[in-house]
Amino acid sequence: MTLPAVDWAQPWLAPYRAPGEAVAQAVAQHTSVAAALQALKPEGTPDFVHQDALPAGQAYEAHIFQTRTVPTRDNLHDFFNGLVWLAFPQAKRRLNELQAAEIARMGVAAVRGPLRDALTLFDENGAVLDAPPALWRALVDRDWHTLFVTQRELWAEARLLLFGHALLEKLTAPRKPITAHVLLTHTATGPMAFDDATLARNFDAKRLELKPFVPLPVLGVPGWCAENTSASFYADPQVFRPLSR
């Protein structure tokens, strides 16, 4: 198979670029995505196996927890999922543990339930922001003009980590409406560090069940889109929506 082309120069792919390029090159040489990921996996990361290893009717997250293997398809979605596993194995394992515990407690139903829904939302579309308090306040208030125009220079002190693999997949074809769900982590004690262990420790079931996320159209981030140098870029209420009160 051949994966669609990925522009590794995009700033949001920086945490994943080195392994991503290596895996993509191996796949281009007729290696499966699972085998290419497996060749790079660090200690503590589950094994990557072909999707056929997932028994029919078995819940995906429960299977990962029980077997310590990640069934992987030969597509861009699972490619990015694998890259996040490589970069943040403790955080991914913590999300999986919470998913598996909830499946064991509640079973698998047509509706996931609030905790599994929140876990899936972050795993697929989540992000973490390290930014000055003024940017956090503007983001929570959906004050887009302050966030991206009047306080734009503060973004030089900020970092945005895209964690969700579906989000990364969507951004292979960047579009203005693509939105991340940012985990609210900035407290009186300061922002959350981006290291794997700290990220994993911040995944608390009771807190996540409340969906402590705030939407952020990621192409609004300075430097992430050439068009956003103009203030008019943000005058689009279909994308940069005001806070509903």
Contact 144, 51 (CB under 8 A): no
Give me the sign of the Cα torsion angle 5, 64, 53, 44.
positive
Domain ranges of the chain: 14-87, 122-234
What's the distance, Cα to Cα, between the start and end of the chain in Å? 48
Length of the chain: 245
- Among residues 216, 221, 210, 220, which one has the least CA distance to residue 243? 216
pLDDT (tens digit per residue) in 211-244: 999 999 999 999 999 999 999 999 999 999 998 7
- Specify the pTM: 0.94
- Cα dihedral 222/227/228/229 (nearest 10): 80
Query: How far is the C-alpha of 92 from the C-alpha of 24, rounded, in Å?
Result: 21
Q: Which residue has the tokens 């929140």?
A: 118
> Which helix (H) or strand (E) element contains residue 178?
none
pLDDT of residue 184: 82
- Alpha-helical segments (H) within 113-221: 114-125, 133-140, 144-145, 165-170, 196-201, 205-208
pLDDT of residue 8: 97
pLDDT of residue 188: 46
Query: How far is the C-alpha of 213 from the C-alpha of 18, rounded, in Å?
Result: 29
The SS3 call for residue 217 is: strand
pLDDT (tens digit per residue) in 175-220: 999 999 999 875 544 555 678 988 898 899 999 999 999 999 999 9
| Residues of the chain falling short of pLDDT 50 | 188-189
Query: How far is the C-alpha of 53 from the C-alpha of 56, rounded, in Å?
Result: 9
Q: Which two tokens stand for residue 197?
A: 């262990």
pLDDT of residue 113: 84
